[in-house]
Amino acid sequence: MLTRTNNRILEMKEIHKNYFHFMEDFLNKQADTAEEKVSDMIRSFAINKIASKPSSRAHLMYLLAKQLDIAIDDSFYFVCASLELIMVQAYCYNVGADGKAGYIGDKKEVAFKTAELLKSTHTNFINNTDLLDDIQKEKLKIFTRNIYSNINIGQVFDTLINVHNNFNKKVSLPLNLVSEKELEGKILENELNLVEAWLGDSFQINAVSLEKFVWQRTYGLSGYMNEVYPEAFSDIFIKNKNEETIKTLKKFSFCYGMLLMIINDIQDFALDLTGDENPTREKILEDVFIDVKNERISYPVYELLQKNISEDVELIEAFYKHKDNISQQEMVREMMVNKGYLKLSLLDASAYAFIATDIIKTFNKDENTSFLDDLVISLVRGNKYIKLLSSKFDTKIKPTDSEIKLRKVSLEKWLTENKEELSKVFN
């Protein structure tokens, strides 16, 4: 297992080397003509912190392409770079929206401007390549627009459920609920209208609706984007498509995207335990507890609210009043570990991983399927943040295989009953 993981990491680095230059050239050109502060963010953050680092999503694209028998050449790597540029833009937006990586105060507006610039010029990136024909370019632009739009829909749901004071209350859906920042409101305005139409005039965030809203937030921010990769590559590169294979790989990629977002939420409780000033591509050490500080209902907080144990809810609410109190932070982290809320989050992530590994078993076993299997399992079994939290509190966070299998059955049933309806708001 360890050797396979090491080989996968080496392959991931090789893949990055083959697509990064497309992104770097484009981003530097945008920086050359942008206003000074935006130019600085493109170079220091978009390039140096995000684009220059190997990406597990790009590795997923590579493995999916191989599974679809797509030629791995410069045209593939260009499409890979184009889809990765969407993530670069999303990270620029996200650090501004959440105040991560030091983008607070006036720097939030710089982050939003940078995100808007990268989104508005993405079509130029696609149009200017000679590696795709006109039909392929149009198909890539359609997928690009849809992914951007659905990430923004995820951002709307992210904001709606993350206004903790609205829990168990009926609230309207005014634009200022999404953001007090006019610029951010403009970025999300079209998607806000879609969500508003889907929800109706008012809605209530309670234990029942919260489960669905958390799913839509997770799907929009990560699940949809990963789910669409097999379809995107097959539409752009394959004339005679195997629809059954594409459908199967979409389900795998969906599971990968969902568990990736849940793990991202768990990370926020352990960023300071790594000893690294830059523990992830988009986060810095000071971003620990950032979701809770922002009163975000991230996945672990969602699990807490579902259990609705009064003393635990009161502790979270007390933290909101004393966000910079170190002892209060530690009490919240200890509660999240010892009361099992991180374990419940990891249980859902692991259930998605088990669904994904069952899908891989339907293909002939080879190095490529082994890497796909390792890609999902390593996120839940070898995760350093889980290990650090377990060690700190001398508590086992990982669920057992029997617990995961039970949750997998109930999750698959829930998805069968709800996924189609909850996906309708997405394009």
Q: Give the confidence band of 287 by pLDDT, cuts at 50, 70, 90.
A: low
- Residue 390 exposure: Cα atoms within 13 Å on the Cβ side: 13
3-state DSSP assignment of residue 171: strand
Question: What per-residue confidence (pLDDT) applies to 203?
Answer: 60
- Between the ranges 7-21, 96-110, 204-218, where is the mean pLDDT highest? 7-21
DSSP 104-169: -TTHHHHHHHHHHHHHHHHHHHHHT-SSS-HHHHHHHHHHHHHHHHHHHHHHHHHHHHT-GGGBTS
Q: By percentage, how much of the chain surpasses pLDDT 90?
A: 57
Per residue in 402-411, pLDDT (tens digit) is 999 999 999 9
Q: Which amino acid is at 42?
A: I
Q: In the prediction, which pLDDT does 183 show?
A: 47
pLDDT, tens only, 328-376: 888 988 999 999 999 999 999 999 999 999 999 999 999 999 999 999 9
Q: CB of 362 within 8 A of CB of 248? A: yes
pLDDT the model gives residue 181: 44
Confidence at residue 129, expressed as pLDDT on a 0 to 100 scale = 98
Query: Amino acid identity of 257?
Result: G
Q: What is the pTM of this model?
A: 0.91
List Cβ neighbours of 141 (8 Å cut-off, separation of 6 or more).
123, 126
| Cα–Cα distance, 320 to 150 (Å, whole number) | 30
Q: Is the distance from CB of 123 to CB of 141 less than 8 angstroms?
A: yes
Residue 325: is its pLDDT beyond 70? yes
| Cα–Cα distance list, 53 to 88, 102, 166, 330, 340 (Å) | 11, 19, 38, 31, 33
Please indicate whether residue 291 or residue 393 has the higher confidence score (pLDDT).
393
Over range 400-426, report the average pLDDT: 94
Q: Phi and psi of 250, rounded to 5°? A: -65, -40
Amino acid at 231: E
- 2-422: CATH class: mainly alpha
Give the SS3 label for residue 5.
helix
* pLDDT tens per residue across span 222-258: 999 999 999 999 999 998 888 999 999 999 999 999 9
Alpha helices in 200-309 (DSSP H): 207-218, 224-237, 243-267, 290-293, 299-307
Cβ within 8 Å of residue 63, ≥6 positions away: 368, 371, 372, 375
For residue 123, pLDDT beyond 70: yes
Q: Exposure of 40 by Cβ count < 10 A (0-12 exposed, 13-18 middle, 19+ buried)? A: middle
Residue 46, CB half-sphere, CA atoms under 13 Å: how many?
A: 36
The stretch 216-221 carries a mean pLDDT of 91
Instruction: Tell whether the model's pLDDT for residue 81 goes beyond 70.
Output: yes
Question: Shortest CA distance to 160 belongs to which of 268, 152, 346?
Answer: 152
| Gap between the Cα atoms of 30 and 42, Å rounded | 8
> How far apart (Å, rounded) are the C-alpha atoms in residues 356 and 373?
8
Domain ranges of the chain: 2-422
Q: The tokens 């590169």 sit on which residue?
A: 237
